[in-house]
Amino acid sequence: MALDIVTIVAVSAGAFFFLAGTVGLLRFPDTLTRLHALTKADNLGVGLVALGLLPRAGSLSGGLKLICVWLLVLLASATVSQLIARAARDSGPLP
């Protein structure tokens, strides 16, 4: 029961951060600010969703896989946003 509550709270919070990140993506004016919104909010969102799902993983290996997913997403989004930011800087302000 307590674990269920953890899941519900964490996943909902994660979903909220995703929503916030998406709003930022749509509303902010240029590439760098959009990236700012996306990376911050989405990384937190993914972490919270993964955390919320951990109690439901059922097995140790399942839990480890979830953590791996979280780490890989972090790695990918961190590097990709770096690359996008550099490309944006090199090619001047994009609309």
Partner 1 sequence: MTFALALHIALAGMMLGLAAWTIAARETFAAVVGFVVYGLFLALVWVRLDALDVALAEAAIGGGLNGLLLLGAAARLRAAEAPADAERPGASLRLLAALLSATVAAALAAAVLLLPEPAPTLAPAAAANAAATGLANPVTNVLMAFRAMDTMLEKVVLLLAVVGVWSIAPDHFWGGRPGVRHQADPQGTLAFLARVLTPFGIVVGIYLSWTGASHPGGAFQGATILAAMWLLIMMAGLADTPPMNARRLRLMLIAGPAVFLLVGLGGLAFGAAFLAYPAAYAKPLILAIEAAMVLTVAITLGLLVAGPPERSAAP
Q: Which residues bind partner 1 (CB under 8 A)?
A: 68, 72, 75-76, 79, 82-83, 86
**Nearest-approach distance from CB 68 to partner 1, in angstroms:** 8
Instruction: Answer whether 26's CB lies under 8 Å from 43's CB.
Output: no
**Residue closer to partner 1 (CB basis): 23 or 83:** 83
**Residue closer to partner 1 (CB basis): 2 or 19:** 19
The two tokens of residue 83 are 């690359």
**Residue closer to partner 1 (CB basis): 23 or 78:** 78
Beta-carbon count within 10 A of 50 CB: 22
Give the largest CA-CA distance in the chain: 53
Instruction: Answer whether 47's CB lies under 8 Å from 15's CB.
Output: no
**Nearest-approach distance from CB 80 to partner 1, in angstroms:** 8
**Nearest-approach distance from CB 61 to partner 1, in angstroms:** 12
Rounded CA gap, 29 and 31, in Å?
7
